[in-house]
Amino acid sequence: MPEALAESVWRARPGLLKRERTRVQLVQAAIRVFGSRGYVDATMQEIAAVAGVTTGTVYNHFNTKEDVARGVAMLLADTLCRRITESQQGVAEGAQRMAIGIQRYIWLAEQSPQWALMLMEVSVAAPEMLTEIRDYVLADLRVGVKQKAFRVPSEAAAMDMINGTVQQAMRSVALGGASDKHGRDVATCLLRGLGMDWAAAKQVASRPLPAFPPMEAVGAPVARKATRKRA
C-alpha cells in the first residue's frame, strides 16, 4: 500500500477502549492476510495468528469472515476517501475534484496492484464499502452540476458510469493491461460523459494531482467529514 495511505491504516488510534483496540488490531491483521492470500483463501485462524490472538478472540468480535470483510472494507474506504478529500482541500472546482478522485483510485492500482485487487475483492463481500465511497463521489458530482460543468440525465446514471468505469480501470491497470497514462485518459472520458466538452475535459484531467498532506497536518476526523458535507 502506498505510504500516504498506509500511515493512516496502520497508525495507532488514540482514545480507544480495549475492546475497540482489539477490533482495530484484528481488522489490520485481516488486511495483511487478505492482501497476501486473497479474501477467498484467507481463514479466521490466519487472521488470529497475524494479530497474535486466539481464534476465539476473533469470533468474539466477528461472527463470520464476511463480517471481518466488512470491517476491512469500511477502514479502507474511510482511509481512501479521507486522504483523497484531504488532498482536495482548496480545490473548489467540482470537475477537478472529480478528476482527482478518479485518478487517485487508478493510481492505487498502479502503485499497489495487489492491494487494489484485494480492495475490489473485499467490496464484493462488503458492498457497504461502495456506499461509503459513493457519498464522497456524489458530493463532487453535485458541485460540478451546480457549477454547470456537468450535465447529466440523473445522478444514479452518472454514479453507475463513474463507479463501473473506475473499477474496470483499476482492474486493467492492476493486471498490467493499461498504459501509464490510463488514469488521465479515463478521467478525460468520464468528464466527457458527465457533459464537459473535449478540450475542457482533457485540460482538467491533465492537471497534476495534488499531494497528500502529511498526517500530522491533518485535522480531526470530525472536521474533515463536516468539510465534505459542506461541499
Look up residue 89 and give its three cell numbers.
Answer: 482541500
Could you tell me which of 124, 125, 123, 142 has the C-alpha nearest to residue 133? 123
Burial class of 146 by CB neighbour count within 10 A (0 to 12, 13 to 18, 19+)? exposed
C-alpha 220: how far from chain center: 19
Could you tell me which of 96, 103, 94 has the C-alpha nearest to residue 166? 103
Q: What are phi and psi of 224, to 5 degrees?
A: -65, -40
Burial class of 200 by CB neighbour count within 10 A (0 to 12, 13 to 18, 19+)? middle
Could you tell me which of 104, 85, 111 has the C-alpha nearest to residue 208? 104
Could you tell me which of 230, 191, 2, 228 has the C-alpha nearest to residue 115? 2
Question: Could you read off the pLDDT of 193-211 as tens digits, one per residue?
Answer: 999 999 999 999 999 999 9
pLDDT at 126: 78
Mean pLDDT of 4-25: 75
Give the CA distances from residue 29 to residues 32, 37, 53, 129, in Å, rounded to whole numbers and listed in that order: 5, 12, 10, 18
| Interatomic CA distance for residues 81 and 86, integer angstroms | 9
C-alpha 216: how far from chain center: 20
Mean pLDDT of 207-222: 71
pLDDT mean across residues, the chain: 87
pTM over 0.95: no
How large a percentage of the chain has pLDDT more than 90?
56
Look up residue 151 and give its three cell numbers.
Answer: 450535465
pLDDT at 223: 34
Could you tell me which of 127, 138, 128 has the C-alpha nearest to residue 162? 138
Contact 68, 127 (CB under 8 A): no
Mean pLDDT of 15-31: 85
CATH code given to domain 3-207+221-230: 1.10.357.10
Which ranges of 38-93 would DSSP assign to H, the alpha helix? 44-51, 55-61, 65-87
**How do the domains of the chain map onto residue ranges?**
3-207+221-230
Question: Could you read off the pLDDT of 77-136 as tens digits, one per residue?
Answer: 888 888 999 999 999 999 999 999 999 999 999 998 888 888 888 888 777 778 878 899
